[in-house]
Amino acid sequence: MHEYEALIVGAGGAGLYAALEASKTGKTAVLSKLYPIRSHTGAAQGGIGAALGNIEEDKPEWHAFDTVKGGDYLTDQNAAILLSEDAIQAVYELENKGLPFSRTPDGLIDQRRFGGHTRNFGEAPVRRACYAADRTGHMILQTLYQQCIKNDVVFFDEYYVLDVVMEGQRCSGLVTLNFSTGEIHIFKAKAVLFATGGFGRMFRITSNAYANTGDGQALLVNRGVPLEDLEFYQFHPTGIRGLGILITEGVRGEGGILRNAKGERFMERYAPTLLDLAPRDMIARAIHSEIQELRGIKGDGSVDDFIHLDATHLGKEKIEAKLPDIAEFSRTYLGIDPADKPMSVHPTAHYAMGGIPTDLNGRVIFDSQGTTYEGLYAAGECACVSVHGANRLGTNSLVELIVYGRRAGQHMAQYVKGADFGIAPPDVGEPARARLAELRSQGNGPNPESLRQEMQRVMMENVGIYRNGENMAKAKNTLGEMRQVYTQIKANDPSKAFNTQVLEILELGHLLDLAYMMTACALNRQESRGAHAREDYPERDDKNWLKHTLAWLEGGKIRLDYKNVDISRWAPKPRKY
C-alpha cells in the first residue's frame, strides 16, 4: 500500500507535464508500464504548433480557426482558442526548461509548414510548427523527464495499472501490478490523472507503438465512465509501405510532394490551395481513391498498393539537417535514400480524436451536462476536451499534451490542497488479484495472437478510411463474438515475474472493448465528417449530427448519449482547401 496526494498514470508528454505542475503542492508519483522515456510521445517527429510568428506573420486566432475547420466543426471552439493562445507560452516554457529546438540563423525557434495550418483563415500555408529536427517528441520527453526528476516526482516504472478505485463519483486510488515481481500494489490518492495515450494497435497497419493499447480508456469504461467521439480515428497519409511506420508530415512541410504512378501531383485535383498540406483525412482519402482508381504505384488497387512521397528535389543536405531520422528509416525499411528516390507510402492508423471526456481543466465528465467526477482527471491522447473534433491537425497533439497536461496538473495541485484521502477498502485489490490468478492458471484456451490478428483485420477492412453501414454492422457482430471468445483465454506461462503474456492478454481485452465501442459509434453516426467517411452517408449533416457522442459499455451493451459542441466563435461552414 502506497499513499500519494497526486497520482499520474502515464509518462508521456501529458503525464509528465501534469506531474511537474501537481508536484508543486502535493506529493506526486507517476506510474508507467514503460520506462518513461519509451512512451510514444518520444516517437513524435514533425513538430509542435504555436503561432510564434518567428518566420512570417501568425496569430493564435488563425491557429484556433484552422483547428476548428480542420476538425470539421466538431471541435469545441472554446477549447481550441485556449489551446492556441496557451501554445505560445507553453512552447517558450519548454524552451526555458532546456528543449533544444531547431533555430533560425538569428537564433529564434525555427518553424515549418504543416497540414491545415494557414494564414488569415485559409489563405495560404503558414510556418507554425516549431521543431527539433524530426525528433520533436523525443526532445519534449527528455526535457520533461529531467525536470520531473529535478522536482522530486517519484517514478514507479513498469507498474501496470489494472483498476481504478472509485467511491461513488470520487476517485481515490489505483490497483496496480508490479511487473517485475507480479505482486499487486495499491495506491491511495487524493486525485488521479490518466495520461495513457492512444490505441492504434487495434488496426493492422499503424504508426503506433506496441504499448498503445488504450488501457486507461478501457479501465475507466469498465468503471462506468463514458467515452466521447470514439468514431473519429485518424489515418495518417504517409506510413512506410507494408509496415505503417510513420514518415512525418514534416517531409511535406519542407516541400515533399505526393505522386501517383503517372508521376502526377494528384493533390492538385483534391485540394487546389493547400495541395500536399491539406488536412490528413482529405489526403488519406485522396490516396485511397488514387489506389482504387488504379493509379497507385503497383497499379492493382490491392490493399498493399501505395504511392510515392517525393523529397528528392530537397537535396541531401536539407534532408540530413531537417529530417535525419526519416532518412534513416527510409534507408533501413525501404532500402533507398530519400535524396535519391521517392519513398513508398500508404495511409497508416495514427491517432484517436475521441477519448475520456474532460472539461477545460482536465476533470473527467460523466454526463451530457458536463458534470465532473471528483479527483479524476485525464489529459493527452487518451482524453477528449475536445480540441480535435472530427480530425486532428498535425502538431496539435503535442500542443494539447503541453497545454492541457499543464492545466490539469495545475488544477490537481489546487484540488489536493483542500482534499482528504478516501478510504480504499482493504479488499480493493481482490478482483484484479483473482483475474491475474485465473489468467496464470493455464489451460487450453483460445490463442490470443490469432484473436488479435483477426481484430486488426476486421478493424482495418471495415472501420478504416471509408466505412459503410452494412460492413460495420457485420464487424460489430464479429467483435461481439470475439469478446466472448476472449473470456476463455488463459496464459500458458504461469510465472509471476515479467509475465509479458499476461500483459498482452490484458491489453488485447482493452483493444477489443474499444474496437467494439468504436464500431458501434461509427455505425450510429449517419453522416460523413472529418475522419469519419461513410460511403452510405457521404455528406456532413449539421442539422442532425453537429453533436458529440458519449458512449458507455454496460454489460456488453452500448448505451449512447450526446453532448453539445461549443460553436460560440465561428459558424460551421463547408470545408474547402
Ligand X SMILES: Cc1cc2nc3c(=O)[nH]c(=O)nc-3n(C[C@H](O)[C@H](O)[C@H](O)COP(=O)(O)OP(=O)(O)OC[C@H]3O[C@@H](n4cnc5c(N)ncnc54)[C@H](O)[C@@H]3O)c2cc1C
- Positions marked catalytic: 280
Residue 308 C-beta-side C-alpha neighbours within 13 Å: 20
Please state the closest distance from residue 177 (CB atom) to ligand X, in A: 8
Q: Closest Cα partner for 531 from 200, 201, 234?
A: 234
| Site stretch for ligand X (CB under 6 A), options 28-36, 66-74, 115-123, 221-229 | 28-36
> Residue with CB nearest ligand X?
12
Task: Count residues near ligand X (CB under 6 A).
Answer: 43
Q: Is 253 a binder of ligand X (CB under 6 A)?
A: no
Q: How far apart are CA 409 and CA 17, in angstroms?
A: 7
Q: How far apart are CA 139 and CA 97, in angstroms?
A: 11
Q: Which member of 136, 238, 260, 358 binds ligand X (CB under 6 A)?
A: 136
Please state the closest distance from residue 112 (CB atom) to ligand X, in A: 11
Q: How far apart are CA 548 and CA 76, in angstroms?
A: 10
Q: Closest Cα partner for 383 from 514, 217, 512?
A: 217
Q: How far apart are CA 375 and CA 418, in angstroms?
A: 11
Binding residues for ligand X restricted to 462-501, rule: CB under 6 A: none
Q: Is 147 a binder of ligand X (CB under 6 A)?
A: no
Q: Is 513 a binder of ligand X (CB under 6 A)?
A: no
Q: Which member of 6, 7, 8, 31 binds ligand X (CB under 6 A)?
A: 31
Q: How far apart are CA 193 and CA 190, in angstroms?
A: 10
Q: Output Rg (C-alpha) for the chain, integer angstroms.
A: 23
Q: How far apart are CA 320 and CA 275, in angstroms?
A: 24
Please state the closest distance from residue 495 (CB atom) to ligand X, in A: 20
Cα angle 281, 234, 119 (rounded to 5 degrees) comes to 50
x/- contact string, 157-196, with ligand X (CB under 6 A)?
Answer: ---xx---------------------------------xx
Quick check: 353 and 531 in contact, CB under 8 A? yes
Binding residues for ligand X restricted to 39-58, rule: CB under 6 A: 39-41, 43-47
| Site stretch for ligand X (CB under 6 A), options 8-16, 58-66, 407-415, 547-555 | 8-16
Q: How far apart are CA 510 and CA 162, in angstroms?
A: 11
Please state the closest distance from residue 248 (CB atom) to ligand X, in A: 6
Q: Is 343 a binder of ligand X (CB under 6 A)?
A: no
Quick check: 493 and 206 in contact, CB under 8 A? no
Q: Is 11 a binder of ligand X (CB under 6 A)?
A: yes
Pairing, β 363-365 against β 170-178: unpaired
Grid coordinates given for 257: 510532394
Q: Is 387 a binder of ligand X (CB under 6 A)?
A: no
Q: Is 10 a binder of ligand X (CB under 6 A)?
A: yes
Q: Is 381 a binder of ligand X (CB under 6 A)?
A: yes
Binding region for ligand X (CB under 6 A): 9-15, 31-34, 39-41, 43-47, 136-137, 160-161, 195-198, 207-208, 211, 215-216, 246, 248, 351, 380-382, 395-398, 401
